[in-house]
Structure 1
């Protein structure tokens, strides 16, 4: 039986993101959903200096985009499942772009990987992408923990 639905996985190409993709694929197989893998590129930031020769910003941005596309496809190939990849560029925080994309997809579920435990002060001041997605998502959110942080309790 196929259930109509989209699962959106946000990736920064880290191991926690790969774990989020693996978990999303498991759920997609179980419920007959489609998996969409999204990477949000933040714009390259450069400063002027006489000590460095920097290529034009357009060339740098295009090289970053090509590299991100390649990494996105490589990460999608890590799972034995048909995954649709998306690469978006955003001037704002990645969490906002992830939530907006989830709304337009529309996604039934967003899956994000958590990088690990941070200090309470750091979380209060800046938070994390996963936490911001949870707060602003238009649908349910599954936050996966890195392997080994608290043991693999839900394989």
Structure 2
């Protein structure tokens, strides 16, 4: 049996309850392997459209996601895991190939992530639960190991 060499665990999140569970798994994997956790907050289509039309301000979106990213920081720091985070548009009104799954995989490549923990939940129609749509895509096309929770 070969051992994994994991330096960075990527966990895409969307503020859902399943995202909290995925963060817990990502932090534990990072702790076990002495790795860093990076939480990628993926914005859903309605938020992206509102940003593009000026209906909401980027600072307001950043403030809304801050409590979730603070929760990631608390969970990581509680077990001594280094962490970072970023926010990405999960959709584009101009580029058809931009969707939550491609955003997760592109970020994994850019950050050279060694492992991805993606929340997988039933599609409920709740706008914040954007990653349910991405889980299957990430599982099919990721070049790194993926844990779907």
Query: Do both proteins adopt the same fold according to a TM-score greater than 0.5, normalized to the shorter chain?
Result: yes
> Does residue 136 in structure 1 map to residue 145 in structure 2?
no
TM superposition shift of 1:5: 1.0
Q: Identify unmatched segments of 5+ residues in structure 2.
A: 93-97, 125-131
Structure showing greater Rg: 1
> Does residue 66 in structure 1 map to residue 62 in structure 2?
yes
Identify the residue that residue 112 of structure 1 maps to in structure 2: 118
Identify the residue that residue 51 of structure 1 maps to in structure 2: none
> Does residue 39 in structure 1 map to residue 41 in structure 2?
yes
TM superposition shift of 1:41: 1.9
CA offsets, 1:120-154, max 9 Å, x none?
A: xxxxxxx831101111212111001xxxxxxxxxx
Q: How many residues align?
A: 125
Does the CA-based 8 Å contact 2:104-2:138 persist in structure 1? yes
Structure with the larger helix share: 2
RMSD: 2.5
Moved over 6 A (4+): none
Please report the TM-score for the alignment, with normalisation by the length of structure 1. 0.69
Q: Identify unmatched segments of 5+ residues in structure 1.
A: 47-55, 119-126, 145-155
Please report the TM-score for the alignment, with normalisation by the length of structure 2. 0.71
